[in-house]
Amino acid sequence: MAADAPLETVRIGVVSISDRASAGVYQDQGIPALQDWLGRTLRNPIDWTTRLIPDEREGIAAALRELVDEAGCDLVLTTGGTGPALRDVTPEATLDIADREMPGFGEQMRQISLRFVPTAILSRQVAVIRGRALVINLPGQPRSIAETLQGLPEAQPPCPGIFAAVPYCIDLIGGPWIETDPALCQAFRPKTAVRKPRTA
């Protein structure tokens, strides 16, 4: 496929998981934070599907299955529910729907957050593949969301964000070719990576 061919639309599911936000106690900040960062970073057109749901394991798993299996999302990002509290069940629900686990994403998120707070070791974010979709748990705070996605390029030593690996991962599982604004996130692909027509 020609390198200058129009970029495919990428379908992204965003799930904010919070008992209080879903009940209207306060305004959700996770979905707007993710849409803001991804909207500025991705060069592809984006088709959004969003969900704001409570901390219920079966409900979270059902939402993730629906976004992948029915809505056809290429990438699903969750925010919230990844700590050690009894109501924090997002990682368990994510593993419930997994075909394969991708532990490196959670490991890197904790490394980034440990630059700021020692309690980052309490975070339990996971990432999984279901079919041709990548599903990643993110922190709940907007600032932490941006830091884990973008990394800390000004730190010494620099600390890469997790999103640098997302486009190539989606390539490998049969999703669309995703390009990013390198000023915000330099996507990494090996030199052998070639943009190919997407198969049905």
Helix ranges, 66-163 (H): 90-96, 103-113, 142-150
pLDDT at 1: 56
Q: Could you tell me which of 126, 116, 127, 124 has the C-alpha nearest to residue 85? A: 124
Catalogue all structural domains in the chain, each as residue range(s) with its CATH number: 10-172 (3.40.980.10)
pLDDT at 172: 96
pLDDT at 112: 93
pLDDT at 3: 58
Give the span between the Cα atoms of 135 and 98, in whole angstroms.
9
pLDDT at 198: 66
Give the span between the Cα atoms of 108 and 139, in whole angstroms.
12
Structure tokens, 112: 């980034």
Phi, psi (deg, nearest 5) at residue 64 = -65, -45
pLDDT at 195: 84
Q: pLDDT 10s per residue in the chain (200 long)? A: 555 679 999 999 999 999 999 999 999 999 999 999 999 999 999 999 999 999 999 999 999 999 999 999 999 999 999 999 999 999 999 999 999 999 999 999 999 999 889 999 999 999 999 999 999 999 988 889 999 999 987 778 888 899 999 999 999 999 999 999 999 999 999 999 888 766 65
Single-letter code of the amino acid located at 102: M
Cα angle 43, 167, 74 (rounded to 5 degrees) comes to: 90
Cross-strand bridge partners of residue 47 = 11
Report the DSSP pairing between strands 127-130 and 133-138.
antiparallel
Structure tokens, 133: 């979709």
